[in-house]
Chain A
């Protein structure tokens, strides 16, 4: 079989060609391409490229796109979070923005249903809601990153009671602020309307519902 012999004899040359092509492609797609994009993006889209960061008095307070863990009743709360501690994976560490994770619990898993049931009860209690009231589903479920920046409008309106009480504000004013802060769909079609929890809470701190 001279055909297969010549193929075998050509193998080292083939590997060398492949190696040279791989290196050229590596330099172009793995170095030139990302560096070029980084260079241009840092100039043209500086704010977005660096994470849509928010600073106040020279201090970094977070990112518009990354949710924060709110537990103080004077703030609107975000969604439950499944992120864990970096060094101890068994330790819960909500809104850990360097260790993104979802719960991955199955719809049929009793652990999920029990967790949701507990969260429903707590939200009813915090906001003085009737014991049989339904709670917006986004408030009692985790997202896949662990720091969803948003809640639904219904989710924010459900929490008006505890925020107004903790801040001693007129609930109607707080409700009006929520409605003003609803971000619509992109181009009127894409995505779902939502409320950015960090921006809403910053508006509260700035006295916009006072």
Chain B
């Protein structure tokens, strides 16, 4: 156990070091500075603008910035939808899969455009190599770049001195892809492939097993996809088993490396924020709140999964940790990862918006599974999705200074900008709309007879069945993409409702935030006075954690008590569901 906790700690230290350097590098990239990659990549960047008819120095207001972002989403949506529908007429389809059905193609395309990567299909039995590497990987880059661009736009809005513009979306997205996502993906892909992740265009291989039967082994060009899947907080793996599949995650090192990739950019953006607003301590205060929530959540999940399931001990399974076995709740987990590293992965994938999994969250203990669900429900802010984590945490920061302002009865300010009713309304909107959609859609799915038509709906009986539904909409609205995967979602009802949830979740998060950025950009910076709340201090981190947890608890506690909490107490009382 001590060795595993050292392994987890080493992973976090690597993230901290990597994020520090990458954060500084990103400041240069997004403020037009020159980096060591410029001699090679600057001509490519200029080529991108020339081919696309983009004027690099054209500044956009928040409305134009939003329109540009939506235009890219619309166009890339159409492209991927067509590739999926027509994959049987396109090359690189060695297993001769037919075109993807309309409702599944809609759900999948929305899912990848919105950085969710919810998957209602078994990749290795549905998608051609072209659909994976072009149709889906395109969005792994684009949606991650969009997240980074939005975070950068909000930072500009907060640090600008009375400006009407936020930058240029096309330029921000292009730079994110060229200077950050592609170079890191190339390195990550080779690291992963060197450890056993596959990268082959061959058809599936048929083996003659040593016991004398045959086994067909699915392969594909997936190392390149795996790298950006984790780095870009996408999470949609080429295989149904995602990072539990040995070809996506072959050993204990790749498991921690994938966690590192998931956490790297979200934490780096915190450093970028601090440096761009001219006070690194502002970034550290935000980052401190993220780390506090993330570390505590990881610890709870690790503890719950190592302790295991009392009902399994009762029927003779040995879940104790000994020198010859890791023990713990091993249903849905791989032996090479064991319970500690699997729980570490679960907290990382839901604390960010990645949604890749190295084990079955559905089979986690009620408390372990609830940690994953809660990390999504509090808005994915610990440390949150690529870009999304930072901008959502900044929304909470605005609410925190507002609440602090109410307590002492003075107008709140953040980074020298007065926070007035418009900003508070936009921030509240960003938080509350998500909650409304998650709980509203969960209620619809629980009540609608169509939910269980055609074999759709929850797999597990009792309280856990409700948890599956609640998790699915939390994940889709929060653009996470992980699942309590027992839920059968590949029916018209779930594909349609889920696709709508993902789209609404992304749209109604992004628009208020860009509006907020626009509103803040236009404000003067007032000098800090004696009554100004020090938002660069640990005290503020604590206040921020409190606001995140109180908002989360007030909104989701009743639903959680019907799902994982109820299941936990039932299990403790040896009451099984059937």
Contact = CB atoms under 8 A, between A and B. Distances in A.
Interface of A: 7, 10-11, 14-26, 28-31, 33-34, 36-38, 40-42, 44-45, 48-53, 59-66, 68-72, 75, 79, 86, 95-113, 116-117, 120-121, 124, 132-138, 140-155, 157, 185-192, 194, 198, 201-202, 205
A60 B208 contact: yes
Given A21-B48, A45-B194, A135-B316, A144 B357 contact: yes
Interface stretch (B99-107, B273-281, B318-326, B549-557): B318-326
B317 A120 contact: yes
B412 interface: no
Contacts of A36: 186
Contacts of A60: 205-208
A143 B357 CA distance: 12
A97 B460 contact: no
B3 A143 contact: no
B466 to A, nearest CB: 11
B461 interface: yes
Interface in B444-486: 459-464, 467, 484-486
Contacts of A15: 71, 74-75
B53 interface: yes
A26 B78 CA distance: 13
9 contacts: A16-B53, A21-B170, A31-B133, A37-B189, A40-B190, A99-B125, A102-B244, A106-B577, A110-B576
A113 B246 CA distance: 26
Contact of B331 (A26, A65, A103, A117): A103
B385 interface: no
B240 to A, nearest CB: 5
A150 to B, nearest CB: 4
A202 B210 contact: yes
Interface residues of B, number: 137
B10 interface: yes
B337 A30 contact: no
Given A22-B76, A108-B311, A190 B252 contact: yes
Given A106-B486, A108-B571, A148 B207 contact: no
B202 interface: yes
A19 B82 CA distance: 14
B113 to A, nearest CB: 11
B122 A51 contact: no
B535 interface: no
A62 B3 CA distance: 32
A40 B312 CA distance: 47
Nearest to A118: B315
Contacts of B486: 104-106
A106 B142 contact: no
Q: Which of B140, B326, B366 has the most CB of A within 10 A?
A: B326
B416 interface: no
Interface string B198-230: 111110111111110101111101011100100
Contacts of B74: 15, 18
Interface string B40-76: 0000000010011110000000011001100110111
A18 B71 contact: yes
B363 A103 contact: yes
Given A45-B194, A59-B208, A145-B241, A191 B360 contact: no
A52 to B, nearest CB: 5
Contacts of B242: 144
Contacts of A145: 239, 241, 244-246, 334
B288 interface: no
Contacts of B459: 104-105
B464 A106 contact: yes
Given A62-B215, A191-B253, A14 B316 contact: no
A61 B52 contact: no
Interface in B218-265: 218-219, 221, 223-225, 228, 239-242, 244-247, 250-253, 255-256
Nearest to A131: B316
Nearest to A79: B335
B371 interface: no
Nearest to A112: B331
Contacts of A22: 72, 75-76, 79, 138, 142
A188 to B, nearest CB: 8
A190 B250 CA distance: 12
Interface string B134-145: 110110111000
Contacts of A108: 311, 366, 460, 462-464, 567, 570-571, 575-577
Nearest to A205: B210
B30 interface: no
A28 to B, nearest CB: 8
Nearest to A114: B315
Contact of B75 (A19, A31, A104, A150): A19
B182 A29 contact: yes
Given A49-B193, A101-B122, A149-B246, A191 B317 contact: no
A185 B39 CA distance: 41
B457 to A, nearest CB: 13
Contacts of B322: 154
A62 B246 CA distance: 13
B395 to A, nearest CB: 26
B413 interface: no
Contacts of A30: 133-135, 137-138
A163 to B, nearest CB: 13
A113 B316 CA distance: 10
B6 interface: yes
Contact of B198 (A16, A50, A143): A50
Interface in B532-576: 567, 570-571, 575-576
A111 to B, nearest CB: 7
Contact of A106 (B241, B330, B363): B363
Given A65-B250, A144-B332, A137 B308 contact: yes
B253 A68 contact: no
